[in-house]
Structure 1
């Protein structure tokens, strides 16, 4: 086959893949919205617990309510894809396609009657997120991103902030898990202190995904986190990248799920955020 014919064939294959992924994204968004409806029906009064065991049972009940919808629907969409069962897992995935799902991102907020929670589903192909859908059941909003095709909020394109001065920026952070080791906790505290000197406002709350939605939408200028799991960083990383933002670790090196830190920022403040976090 001649070079022009090879190029045309390659282009046709890429176009067909993108079209198929766009349809898959629409169906994934429908699945997370349905799961979100189930969680919204469970939301309201504060769920009281007296022990860690009772807390874990309450968290699992929410997860199961969403997974009962998500798992069969997503499996039908992509039956050959693997399934990441543990939302706190990190590191690289085996080859192939995988569904990385957080059925109740911000689950502890849901239990406490706080509004910051979501349902997420991300398809990872050869360790790269190719599509993601994040649904906020209390507002009805759905954020989506498709690799190479942009990030959107209910169909409207998203763009990161044009801010070029970290001193005028709003930044945010989150804790990866409640049982972090002492070294990570101290690093988090030192970074927050440094950002309090260098940024205009520092926000600190869980979950990570909601901060990353704000970065993708240009409402927050940068987000960082030390450690972290695939499920709380992959959806936002794709949304921020497709909205024009930069993703790295806290030292400015390329980020992977094996990295010990994570930074998502508008291009104009990325270097300054790296400098602050590297002190």
Structure 2
């Protein structure tokens, strides 16, 4: 039987993709930070009145698209603000969130990031998340581990859900938030405590380095977790959805192997993936 499974890139090719991602993300983060220092402008809303987008979100994404186009003109880019660009048959797709944590950015809270991942045949193979406010940077390659500042990351080895510190986030639609709040009031009695920082990519990186034990959220888009999900996976977390499904818009859970099952079972019991 002929193996028709698409080949993934070599280690050298992945390293080249990561090097490009890091360069582009650092330049984009510099732009986001400098535009924040000049004052936030061009603030509008998207899905709801609380779902904000700024001129910097759009400018940073345009910069990333242009930089990737100059370095790899045959690739495609999927971004939060402008959607997809490039041909459909490209071997590599870049997934970018130009400013993850725009509300934090709007208020000057130092929890906003540039998130950039390279996917080959639909699989993330290289990723970088850079906190634009602080310069903290996390990277990963598929099969090559996750790192922060040259230090290889190892996620939490927590085995007891009741002792787990769990991060989460909320959507912008009021009805969805109400459902998520109902779920949260039940989850918080079954874990050590809850944290909410406001940027999915940074939540995943925090989990990857053991700053929290686990993370879950409903309503994430590919650009929210493409990079952070690879970093979390390479640090030793299980990243997936409920009932054996992959991570997706209905639910993403990142947790140590010993508590992934109990946490996903709890979330399924509470219908965390349901509601609006």
- Shorter-chain TM-score range: 0.7 to 0.9
> 1:154, 1:226 → 2: CA distance?
30
Q: Please tell me whether Structure 1 or Structure 2 has the larger radius of gyration of its CA atoms.
A: 1
- 1:167 and 2:157 matched: no
Gap runs ≥5 in structure 2? 1-6, 270-276
Q: Find the counterpart in structure 2 of residue 5 from structure 1.
A: none
Aligned-pair distance for 1:52?
4.5
> 2:203, 2:211 → 1: CA distance?
9
Helix, strand or coil for the counterpart of 1:198? coil
CA RMSD of aligned residues (A): 2.9
Where in structure 2 are the equivalents of 1:1-279 lying within 5 Å? Answer: 17-44=10-37, 47=40, 52=45, 59-86=53-80, 96-175=91-170, 177-179=171-173, 182=175, 184-249=176-241, 251-257=242-248, 259-279=249-269
Q: Find the counterpart in structure 2 of residue 9 from structure 1.
A: none
> 2:83, 2:172 → 1: CA distance?
14
> 1:87, 1:252 → 2: CA distance?
31
Q: Find the counterpart in structure 1 of residue 272 from structure 2.
A: none
> 2:19, 2:41 → 1: CA distance?
37
Larger fraction in helix = 1
TM-score normalised according to structure 1 size? 0.82
**Does the Cα contact within 8 Å between 2:52 and 2:103 map onto a contact in 1?**
no
| CA distance 1:56–1:171, change in 2 (3 Å) | closer
> 2:219, 2:136 → 1: CA distance?
28
| CA distance 1:61–1:213, change in 2 (3 Å) | same
> 1:36, 1:197 → 2: CA distance?
38
**Does the Cα contact within 8 Å between 1:40 and 1:137 map onto a contact in 2?**
yes
> 1:87, 1:246 → 2: CA distance?
29
> 1:226, 1:57 → 2: CA distance?
16
Aligned-pair distance for 1:256?
4.4
**Does the Cα contact within 8 Å between 2:131 and 2:202 map onto a contact in 1?**
no
> 2:20, 2:42 → 1: CA distance?
36
Q: Which has the higher mean CA deviation after the structures are superposed, 194-203 or 267-276?
A: 267-276
Helix, strand or coil for the counterpart of 1:171? strand
Aligned-pair distance for 1:71?
1.5
Gap runs ≥5 in structure 1? 1-12
Aligned length: 257
